[in-house]
Chain A
């Protein structure tokens, strides 16, 4: 069993600080004394009880300060094999009890060491429940660890995610060719698709695969930010819909598909982030627990008549999945690839494969 012991020295020295929101409300906590004044981000909370490594490396969190509602974070250290991308994308972390001493056979470092290496600020010993309840009533808001309210009020932190400059052939295991549009894809979407006997090409959000590629299906990934900002991506999807080959989407991908179909999206008050979101398949009445991380949703009233809602959230009734009534266009708001979270809906990938 491995584990990290307190080594003493500066690494563990702390100072009092605050998480300051753009409306001036602040929440007290401690920060490492070596930590620079924090970056700005949209403050969002996730109710997942495990999976901090997966969440922090999920590109959908770029530009966001992530509050963990579970109060003990860092217990099992950091295991690189559970990264969902090459680095931490969240721009800050808020926790209650930060565990320095970790224990797991696969891990190599503590959460704090990792954050320090990647220069991502953290604030701990925060009343995260009070903060969560505030965000729930006030709605998602911009904030900063340590910076004053005036400085952050005017800043819009989000920029589109670009991981790939150019398209990349990923694997070639079969005749069917699949395009994965990478708007900030989690690694497990790539893993899930590449476990199938297909050829996979991963392309950036602005790459027009309808012009240059001879494909059998398109898969649009998750990603950060407001879907309406992805104008180019939407235009390309519109073309893909005309071509009529299967188009599937996850999370942001489902919102982009909705926008391409002519429907609208809206910003939710505080989004759904966690591993316990219950969804119902409206046709089979079968229910699933899903992993989610989104602040925008599809407006069901705006869906064109040849489209339908296929999944709904059992708690707030929001749209969790849409599909075309006759064509192979299908998208879900939740994360069938899990990581973090439950694996109930991994069948979505099989369904995609069968549609090819």
Chain B
């Protein structure tokens, strides 16, 4: 006796059929018209080469067109070149909602609120670091907890944690874990206002309290990388960003708001599911797009709770930077200042933010959801630190642990995507498939033979992150540039990696 439940079986359109429904608007721009699906309010636009588009799984097209049905969405639902399927929004989804008539959706931000990337320079060359690489990676692995259930600051009190949720990196500055310029070089100064912990559940606080200063697992990592001369695209911009010597060593890491943000998202997803139909008459094609009007009490409460998670995540990355400074300082017997352990920038790639954009010649206040997409403000835009005002916003795109990552810059032409660009490589293989095809230990040995020393809390977790499970990062970066979303400065290749 088969009993169907709430949803019918899922049969996504095949990629092939989907490609036929796409309208090609340019070399790297595709549109799915509103006639594609009932309820679409705006078209969907995908920024991708034909090659990248063919690598996207069909659920991406289904999900980005679902996003186009959300109330208040303006212009079009965007998918970045590294797009791949998630839940609700695809990863790489960008949607701007009118701040007065639109909705806010946790599914457009992701469970890992303010997951992001931070890039830090050293004044060391690869030749200087090479003999100490293993020691450095091993020390970092000790000092920056990674993996399932890892805990950081054990003695952080509940009231300290609430202060972190309110103040973000500002708390770190007040407590000796940051320098003033670290905050200046963090998106939003490492602190968003309007974060009121009264909107956060006790469960969320309990989950996050022990996790400040931890990496987590999955695709989160901490890498030692080298800026090789042959990988430089714009030497002038690179030197303005602090990378000035050939084969300079830099440190990049990727993590978010840990269990705190995950719980905030879970709590509000459930709340929105409860009220959206009964109270706000919102009907959706996917439960993971659960939404509330942005101006409703529930929408505003989530916005404030999400800001707490944004702040916690900035503080998390700031504490990790502090640990990195300690480790390098111990290993080299010099101060972090002498070693030049300075911030390049810190970007968020899972957020919703109120921003002003030009729409048909008029300034409009929009709530821009970016899920697995990086804000990429062009030169001269407000919100950039003085140092980068003329240059544009630094964009940090994390590649797979085998292939490398990119430092890019926002450009004026980014207006077409609400000044958003890619955030990483984008998966082309599910985690289950990757675990079948690759073995963690083998991968670790292979990488070692190619000069990349990896330390991981999990072999199976490592297999899930194999380079071949991802799109080609070089193509993602090149297409992001060709599409006018951001421009390449330098590709950074890994030599040491810590994985959760």
Are A and B subunits of one complex?
no
Residue numbers of A with Cβ under 8 A of B are: none
